Amino acid sequence: MKKARLAGLVVLALIVAEAGRHANAWMSREAAVPVPNAPAAMHAVHAGRDQPYRGDLVLIDGAHPVREAGRQTDIIRLFDHPELRNGYGLANTAIALSKRAADKWQLLADAAREDGIDRFFIMSGYRNDAEQARLYEEKGSLYELPPGFGEHSLGLSFDVGSAAAEMNRAPEGRWLSKHAWEYGFILRYPQEKTAVTGIRFEPWHLRYVGMPHSALMHRYGWTLEEYLEALKQRKSMSTAMDGVEYEVTYYAASAAGDTAIRVPAAGAYMVSGDNRGGIIVTIQTRTATGA
Ligand SMILES: [Zn+2]
């Protein structure tokens, strides 16, 4: 049964077209080195030494700093991309972000505008270590994190405000808490989870994690910490959305730095480290009719 279903894995043209362009993009089988004797539908590949530290799901906190491999490789200055700054404002022209996250943010901003929510502005995006150090010195440890320990160093996080009011009271903030997950984003530091995150409530701080992870976190009310722990305990989770089925599987990273993971022989998958010793493989399958 399982074999029949796995044989139904299809390559999603759009996603695979991206394969190999970015370190953390969805990959097709071409990106993988097959291991002989693996079953036909799935095969084993080796995740490299850096893999635990990079990807959309890495956890950054006081115990898990950003590793060099964790920085996104597709960081762009939003001001240079007029097609990606429609319907919201930028606090300054230097604001930068991973292009993949910026693409999804633009989709979110378009959808929000259709709901009459059109006063977002991005206050801060990707920060290099020098910028983070400056902020840390300026604002102190109560409000800022030392360089290397803040999510802004990944390129997947940004602070977004509202020109209407403070985010915790603004329609923009309410809209985000309801809909951000639909575009792959999470509110990283929620009000009711300060004991889990160790960070005060930040209704403005968004983090891109991608689908289906944002949807699973939203469904169960989990922070990134809680989601990663649940994956580690359960070993795998699956969900279906918009006719696409996702399987998320946790692997403990090998201490030798070369971890065998199982990926579809023909189909789209994404690999991300969790920055705390785990590797998470997300497989995307089309829910085929009659399969
Ligand atoms: Zn922030």
pLDDT tens-digit readout, 116-170:
999 999 999 999 989 889 999 999 988 888 888 999 999 999 999 999 999 999 9
202 is catalytic: yes
Measure the CA–CA gap between 261 and 273, rounded to whole angstroms: 12
Residue at 216 is within a domain: no
Report pTM: 0.85
> Ligand 1 centroid vs 18 CA: distance in angstroms?
28
**Full domain range(s) for residue 195:** 70-208
Residue at 240 is within a domain: yes
> Ligand 1 centroid vs 118 CA: distance in angstroms?
21
Tokens linked to 45: 């590949």
> Ligand 1 centroid vs 213 CA: distance in angstroms?
20
Nearest to 185 by CA among 157, 224, 214: 214
> Do 142 and 196 sit in the same domain of this protein?
yes
Residue at 267 is within a domain: yes
Give the domain CATH number at 261.
3.30.200
> Do 126 and 77 sit in the same domain of this protein?
yes
> Do 90 and 142 sit in the same domain of this protein?
yes
Q: What is the pLDDT of residues 12-57, one digit of tens each?
A: 333 333 333 344 566 654 444 544 444 448 889 999 999 999 999 9
Task: Return all residues near 10 (Cβ < 8 A) that are at least 6 apart.
Answer: 266, 267, 285, 286, 288
Q: What is the pLDDT of residues 55-100, one digit of tens each?
A: 999 999 999 999 999 999 999 999 999 999 999 999 999 999 999 9
> Do 174 and 275 sit in the same domain of this protein?
no
Catalytic residue among 18, 182, 202, 247: 202
> Ligand 1 centroid vs 247 CA: distance in angstroms?
30
Within the chain, what is the greatest distance between any pair of CA atoms? Answer: 61
Helix axes 171-179, 99-114, angle to 10 degrees: 120
Measure the CA–CA gap between 96 and 25, rounded to whole angstroms: 19
How many domains is the chain partitioned into structurally?
2
> Do 33 and 91 sit in the same domain of this protein?
no
